[in-house]
Structures are given as C-alpha cells and as structure tokens.
Amino acid sequence: MMPSACDGLSGNIRPTFETKLDLPLRRGKVRDVYELPPDNGEPRLLIVATDRVSAFDVVLPTPIPGKGVLLTQIAAWWLRFIEDRGLSRTHLISSDASDVPASAFGPGCTGRDELRARIMIGRRCRVVPIECVVRGYIEGSGWSEYQRTGAICGVPLPAGLRRCDRLPEPIFTPATKAEQGEHDQNITFDRACRTVGPGPMETLRSRSLAIYAAACEHALARGIIIADTKFEFGLPVDGRGQVIDEQPILIDEALTPDSSRFWPADRYEPGRPQPSFDKQFIREHLEALVSAGGWDRQDPGPPLPEAVIEATLEKYRQARDLLID
C-alpha cells in the first residue's frame, strides 16, 4: 500500500486550491500544469493535482481536501502498472516532489511540502486530438446514444440491452477533445481516422483495448468493475516542440475515478444506475439544487456542504485502497 497524505478526515488536511511557482503556468479546471526546465534536452511538464473539483464544466468554490493526493497516487500507480506490463510507454518520469528544481520556489511561492504526493513530472508531448474511450458496460452518453440509434459511435450493439449491462466485448468509442468549458463529442472510428490517420488510430485502438483489459482484470480481482474509461495519448517532442517519436505514449492521468466509471462489483445490478467511486454525491447534490431552482449550471458554482465533501473523499479513498497494491 502506498503511503497517504490524507488518511484522516478532510478537516485534518489543508486543501490546495491552486499553486504558485516560478515557472510558466497553464491552469486547468483541476490541475496546474507548469513547464519545467529541460533535463538533458528533454522538455518536461510538472502536473499538480489540486483539490479543486469541477462539475457540469464549472469549477466549484469548495475544494475537496486531499483529493489531488488520492488521484495522483492512483494515476501514478496505474501508469507504472501499464509500463511494467509493456502495454504502453507513458509520460511519467517522476512523482517525487524532490525532483522539482529549487529555482521553482521563489518568494511567495507554494512550498515543496505542499506539492508532495500530488505531482507528476512528465515528458512533454504533442497531444493526439482524440479521446480514446473504451466501454465494457453501457452507461452515460453511450447509453443515451444506444437508446436513440442502437449503436455507440457507429458500433452496432445487440438489441434489448439494459442500462449498465455488460457489453458482449469491450468497444472502442473515440471522442473529440473539447476546449475547456465544452463537452467532448462522441465520433465514429472512421471520423477519428480522418482526423489523425488510419494507422495511428489502429494503434491507439488496440493499445487502449489492451490497457483496459489488463486494468479490468486487476480491478475486478479487488472488487471494482471498470465500466468505462478514457485515455489520452501524445507524441514526444523536443525543446522546439517538434515531434521526435511518432509512436504515441500514454499521457495525462489514467484509470482514476475522474477518468473512469468505477462500480463496486458486489453491488452490481444491471437495469439501473450503479453506485460508484467518483463524484456521485457532488452530482446528486448539484442536480437537486438545479431542480429546486437554486443553481443554473453556470459559473460561479455553489459551495458544497461538509457532508458531501466527506462522502466524496471517502469514495476516492476506498478506490485507492482497493486498487493499489
């Protein structure tokens, strides 16, 4: 079991809503991404998982203390799992905050201790503009599309499937990578090929399905169904941003509750929504607010009550404890 910085209650850990370092910054919805000085000519990124939480593409004002630590532990473990089994190279170089150069910590900056257990140092890549989604069960946008068309992303499926049914075999259902604040769009494999090229997409499909199969086997042995997940890939670049290797590597996070649907295997019952190890409590709270006219799904988002924060954090903690050796 990996050591945790957040095994206690959320009130016992100081939340990290955002960070500040003496490095070029690109701030995402939940992560702060910095450019690090090259190491032996290799450009690198520092990815900090903050405790910000987003829902309905809105960053909420209330952080989930320790969420970034838990997600980093899960993601880094899976990336090493994937590399160790020869399933794909990944962007991960280090998850040790000691490897962040001292020059990043100027006056008024976030301290190194606050970064511990919530960072990944990764190879800089040119991102492949396709979300590589694998589905082993039918839920979410896939369920909605199946009800309309009998297929998902052009992949025909048997008639009569129930919500959350296991599919006859996992399917690869690509999506566009949307700009921040917009939704990804499910597309056909042929359209993805027109965007990226048939050869690269064949590679990404086979690689994504292989990673998903290995991850599902590991997770199910520990009581978790991975209903679906998404991967991102990129091409390593040099200091000028030029691609130096045409073989895609896995980037970003992988197989976390934020990028996957994790269901408890012992409570699985098709035909209805499943309990999950993710932001379920947050979504339900916000949907109730929307129904009552208390929020319009626009920025700014509403604050979260302590009970929702605690319940969400516990779900992330349970997922980590079950998945990680």
The tens digit of pLDDT for each residue in 106-143 reads 999 999 999 999 999 999 999 999 999 999 999 999 99
What whole-number distance in Å separates Cα of residue 119 and Cα of residue 318?
Answer: 21
Closest CA to 42 of 247, 249, 250, 241: 241
Report domain extents, the chain. Answer: 13-126, 129-267, 280-323
Which residues does 242 contact at the CB level (< 8 Å), separation at least 6? none
Yes or no: domain 13-126 corresponds to CATH 3.90.120.10 = no
The tens digit of pLDDT for each residue in 190-243 reads 999 999 999 999 999 999 999 999 999 999 999 999 999 999 999 999 999 999
Q: Cβ(119)–Cβ(144) under 8 Å?
A: no
pLDDT over 50 (residue 4): no
Q: Cβ(67)–Cβ(53) under 8 Å?
A: yes
Classify domain 129-267 at the CATH class level. Answer: alpha beta
pLDDT category of residue 96 using cuts at 50, 70 and 90: very high
pLDDT category of residue 184 using cuts at 50, 70 and 90: confident
Asked if the domains 13-126 and 129-267 are classified in one and the same CATH topology, the answer is no
Closest CA to 103 of 176, 177, 40, 34: 34
Q: Cβ(198)–Cβ(152) under 8 Å?
A: no
What whole-number distance in Å separates Cα of residue 140 and Cα of residue 143?
Answer: 5
pLDDT over 90 (residue 254): yes
pTM, full prediction: 0.92
Mean pLDDT of the chain: 93
- How many other C-beta atoms are found inside a 10 Å radius of the C-beta of residue 121? 20
**C-alpha angle 291-297-299 in degrees, rounded to nearest 5:** 145
What whole-number distance in Å separates Cα of residue 173 and Cα of residue 131?
Answer: 9
